[in-house]
A and B are shown apart, each in its own frame.
Chain A
């Protein structure tokens, strides 16, 4: 589904990604772990198409197409979804209206008519139940005054509504208490299908107790330096990142 080859990227002249190789197939869950500043969030922004990040070398192939050719909205239409580490607040636009705009924008890109209002409401109800979201929450302005947990839950709610092929969860566990973490992880697990894939980006192993990855990659200084199974996550939790730094001579 996703093939990243020798990806280099910089932002404001600073080299952040220094040769990333990563392959994700349908049905798989991958986790990228690494200390702060290793480039994890940059990688997710680059895949989603943030313009401030300049790809200087390498390629990102998604379903056989070079993703860097496309605008962020086109990548979304192709099925790439990014759950933001810091979701933005949009006062004046309710969650429901935002969802309606987003769903219909994606339908329009596929040549479909707007989703009928009753169908939309049904879908919103169904998916909000999955994330245990209160009805009142839906008529609030998007992310405005939301707690950290509410924001993240709202991200996964959007993911549930959009049903992407590739979901990138950027530090979705940060700022979550244990109940919110369980709800979010449960949502992600329920959305799992043989034809979609998830890339979990996290600092801690905690989230991976709930979302069990098939592969764990360790990122240091803009490169993936070690890959393994889920046991690698436990090892990192126990020993920290220093032993890997020594092992790879970084």
Chain B
């Protein structure tokens, strides 16, 4: 059976097993109908021109994994940022793993979507925000239809989350191929601040497909820093859909670090619904073999005096492929918009490919928009300079790649995370760099 049919027929069984408010039931039912109509995206659609899901969708995925709680913390410790104190919301095969988690309801809520969906306490928040930021798109609708579990983070107004929150999704897929669909909702109140680190990690050699949806609502003057670590094994594919609605004078940033995985697609949308908003989208991609990473971004400027900054760096080795598709829309009302976009790439091998495509739709006349895209190789003169100082070729190449990616790392506000990312890059490049840049 095709995956689409399998999902459609699984929906009824899924609904039967889940307690829910009637409102949620309606949202889910509508979503599955939308998905049925739209189906999976194909390369015929402009936004999917360079990324085919065919290979990823051909596996016979299990949609309802059994509860798996045999993971020992010591075995997965390395996937956590454990040198700082954090809240942790951890899932195994889409099911909450309490023994690996550290949630809270004091001052802030960092807990489970399932409890938020079912409790009357959180009903007003769910009613106000759940499925309000996400657009109607096939994969998002699919996630909505099956949404049950994920992280629920609620920061009341005038509150600074006292420590970062890690959201980690492990998959074990012990039975066979596994499809997981985490659903996260993050609501950050006026003048509030939160830092979130998200990671998807497969612990199996079976194929895993994650179709994740994260909705973030940033109220007036809220500050949200979101970091995504994508360093999964090469059997795991990820479709990440992250949607951010920003209000007046809020400041949101998403950093995406893509090093692992088979196919990774990042749909990242920012909706600016107020004045003097700042949005930052940054990414470092370092991949090889036949890996594929696609960054599909949208920044929608709807109000005057806002800024957006996009900076994506990619290093592609062997037969890896990259896509950067960055869309900026500036509404007629959004005068004095400053929108910047840069996508710089290094291709290390002849077979590596990058497709980079900026799309600017500007309807206001008093705006500053710039975009730049470069594709190149490592500079021979720089390599010779380093080697003439005694730095071996491999390390010299790594150093230049670091230097290339560095300004993206500079804006990471958690030092321990920066160190971790530096280490992952060093490991990925096969070098040992004894300091953090």
Q: Which residues of A lie under 8 Å from residue B381 when comparing CB positions?
A: 88
A162: which of B382, B384, B389, B399 is its contact (CB, 8 Å)? B389
CA A130 to CA B387, docked complex, whole Å? 25
Task: Give the shortest distance, in Å, between A111 (CB) and chain B (any CB).
Answer: 14
A97: which of B379, B389, B407, B437 is its contact (CB, 8 Å)? B437
Task: Give the shortest distance, in Å, between A87 (CB) and chain B (any CB).
Answer: 7
Are A101 and B433 closer than 8 Å at their CB atoms? yes
> Known interface pairs A97-B437, A101-B399, A104-B434. Does A73 touch B379 (Cβ–Cβ under 8 Å)?
no
Are B403 and A92 closer than 8 Å at their CB atoms? yes
Are A76 and B388 closer than 8 Å at their CB atoms? yes
A93: which of B380, B388, B392, B399 is its contact (CB, 8 Å)? B399
B373 adjacent to chain A (CB < 8 Å): no
A88: which of B385, B391, B395, B404 is its contact (CB, 8 Å)? B385
**Chain A residues close to B by CB (< 8 Å):** 48-52, 71-73, 75-77, 81-82, 84, 87-88, 90-93, 97, 100-102, 104-106, 109, 114, 158, 162
Are A51 and B384 closer than 8 Å at their CB atoms? yes
> Known interface pairs A72-B387, A97-B435, A104-B434. Does A91 touch B403 (Cβ–Cβ under 8 Å)?
yes
Q: Which residues of A lie under 8 Å from residue B434 when comparing CB positions?
A: 100-101, 104, 114
Are B385 and A73 closer than 8 Å at their CB atoms? no
CA A72 to CA B391, docked complex, whole Å? 9
CA A71 to CA B404, docked complex, whole Å? 24
Number of interchain pairs (Cβ within 8 Å): 83
A-B contact pairs, 5 of them (CB 8 A): A72-B387, A82-B388, A93-B399, A102-B391, A162-B389
Are A102 and B390 closer than 8 Å at their CB atoms? yes
CA A49 to CA B381, docked complex, whole Å? 12
Q: Which residues of A lie under 8 Å from residue B380 when comparing CB positions?
A: 51-52
**Nearest residue, chain B, Cβ from A103:** B390
Task: Give the shortest distance, in Å, between B158 (CB) and chain A (any CB).
Answer: 37
B402 adjacent to chain A (CB < 8 Å): yes
CA A162 to CA B379, docked complex, whole Å? 24
Are A93 and B391 closer than 8 Å at their CB atoms? no
**Nearest residue, chain A, Cβ from B390:** A76
Are B433 and A73 closer than 8 Å at their CB atoms? no
CA A51 to CA B384, docked complex, whole Å? 8
CA A76 to CA B387, docked complex, whole Å? 8
